[in-house]
Structure 1
């Protein structure tokens, strides 16, 4: 799935735990899909933030500072990609 985002999306932040079971799919997403996602959106900041014990979440920032947050707890790598696609369109 090759995602390209519109200009309304200003930043993506992904929070995850390096070892927690709830973040397993997010870690797999980073390994499998991050490079392609960044290649398709070279000017979009895509931030990966790791912190021990944190609940995995996706934050999307849009025009005028509007933000949307979605939990990524216990999702597969493909589900994480689907959530990113959905959030990027649903501001």
Structure 2
């Protein structure tokens, strides 16, 4: 079966230095409503966990936008210019804490579903799994 009809790309290497780590998330924007019920989790996160998050991650600018009757969401802006939005309506503060840590550890590259990822690494040796499968 040919994969010629599936778009493909190479996985980009992050230029993160040797022996050092640079967080790729530069700005985290929390959008919420003061009174809407679906924003209750983000309000709890701001009261309980946001100060600890900012102390642990001083390189990330955190902005809070209050929008009237808007669904809550997290917007992450990365060093490569990409943005990612996550809708967090009716999520509790623990789930929002996990999502902010997820955004913090992302590289910012867009991963498209249905995209065949290729690597530049190759080997001339046949993997042992292939040999075992051929014998069966």
TM-score range, shorter chain: 0.7 to 0.9
**How many positions carry a matched residue from both structures?**
87
TM-score, with structure 2 as normaliser: 0.60
> Over alpha carbons, which structure has the higher Rg?
2
Give the C-alpha shift of residue 6 in structure 1.
Answer: 4.5
Which of 62, 71, 93 in structure 2 is aligned with 1:55? 71
Structure 1 unaligned residues grouped into runs of 5+: none
Give the C-alpha shift of residue 27 in structure 1.
Answer: 0.2
Runs (4 or more) in structure 1 with deviation over 3 Å come to none
User: C-alpha separation between the residues in 2 aligned to 1:89 and 1:22?
Assistant: 26
Post-superposition Cα deviations, 1:21-56, rounded to whole Å, max 9, x if no partner, equal 000000000000011011111232101111110110
Match of 1:11 in 2: 27
Match of 2:103 in 1: 87
Bigger relative contact order (CA 8 A; separation at least 6): 1
| Superposition CA RMSD, Å | 1.5
Name the SS for the 2:49 alignment partner. helix
User: C-alpha separation between the residues in 2 aligned to 1:89 and 1:43?
Assistant: 13
TM-score, with structure 1 as normaliser: 0.88
Match of 1:33 in 2: 49
Higher helix fraction (1 or 2): 1
